[in-house]
Amino acid sequence: MIVILKPNSEQERIDRLMQHFKDMGLAIHYSQGENTTIFGLVGDTTKLDEGDIMAYDVVERVQRVSEPFKAVNRKFHPEDTVIEVAGRKIGAGYFNVMAGPCSVESEAQIVEVAEAVKKAGASFLRGGAFKPRTSPYSFQGLEAEGLKLLLEAKRQTGLPIVTEIMSEKHLDLFADVDIIQLGARNMQNFMLLKELGASGKPILLKRGLSATMEEFLMAAEYIFAGGNTNVILCERGIRTFEKMIRNNLDISAVPLAKTLSHLPIIIDPSHAAGRRDMVQPLSRAAIAAGADGLIIEAHNDPKHALCDGAQSLDLPQFDTVMADIKRRAAFEGREMMPL
Ligand SMILES: [Mn+2]
């Protein structure tokens, strides 16, 4: 971190600031020019807050030169992280497709979808039980009952499950869930991030719809800080000026996340576009960009789906898209899970 001081600052005040940094265990490279004095801070600056430094009136400007995230930073962990869940590997070339309906609606529905996506080659069943909806009047999910139905579908098909948590109060209910999803709207719910950090469970962390890459990786850093290193990133589209699609898939998030971090990253093409006709082309783009997997909405009867019907593939369409994904993943040298 570089701290630039105001010209002609009193030495006594400069000394006080230097003492502050020394007390924090940092070394200082002191450089005095004709008009400007600059400090280069050496050491662990992750705990420093730019705003706190600006509070010293001798400071003109503060500039970070290294990222504020450490545990998830590739600089300190050069190899790709591989996360193992229910016998499946995720990351470093191991490719997974998670598929299922937006919401769990009934036992018949979730079991039918689970059987179909398993047959097509998906390695996880997704399905929402607790739904964060924009309107309080929209279907809120079957909640605890929905979780039971997901576990029943898991029992019948053997597919591990991924489902979203909305409150740390529900953690006990998620004991048998294989991957807990933290949704886009809760990406900066810091209390929930801390609890998921303490839980040790595999976490699918979705990027907030207006979150920068730094904010996204800092959310992952929260989970690591709690002692949990089982984090899978998920890019699901960000908000832009374009209104024809629900969100804009930020495909550059894949190579960017891979440069900055060692964590696996998957793509959600369903929520990214909000349209089923875009699921296949965006899945192709995800594979080509280096993503470690996909999470796709599929439903046995999208026209009557209680949530996100317009972006859900029906089961024959999922079959077709899945066949294309397998071909392209093989072409790109990925290893499809399950083997
Ligand atoms: Mn959905």
* Rounded-to-integer distance, Cα 308 and Cα 271, Å: 9
Task: List pLDDT tens digits, range 250-295.
Answer: 999 999 999 999 999 999 999 999 999 999 999 999 999 999 999 9
Q: Across the strands, what pairs with 103?
A: 128
Task: List pLDDT tens digits, range 219-249.
Answer: 999 999 999 999 999 999 999 999 999 999 9
- Which range scores top for mean pLDDT: 3-12, 19-28, 62-71, 179-188? 179-188
101 CA distance to ligand 1 centroid (A)? 7
Say whether pLDDT at 66 is over 90: no
Architecture of domain 83-336: Alpha-Beta Barrel (3.20)
103 CA distance to ligand 1 centroid (A)? 7
Say whether pLDDT at 205 is over 90: yes
pLDDT band at 119 (very low <50, low <70, confident <90, very high): very high
Say whether pLDDT at 157 is over 90: yes
308 CA distance to ligand 1 centroid (A)? 5
215 CA distance to ligand 1 centroid (A)? 23
Q: Where are the beta strands (DSSP E) in the chain?
A: 2-5, 27-32, 37-42, 59-63, 83-85, 88-90, 94-100, 124-126, 161-165, 179-182, 203-206, 231-235, 265-267, 293-297, 335-336
102 CA distance to ligand 1 centroid (A)? 4
Task: List pLDDT tens digits, range 159-182.
Answer: 999 999 999 999 999 999 999 999
pLDDT band at 338 (very low <50, low <70, confident <90, very high): confident
pTM of the model: 0.91
Domain spans of the chain, in order of start: 2-63, 83-336
71 CA distance to ligand 1 centroid (A)? 30
* CATH node for 2-63: 3.30.70.1140
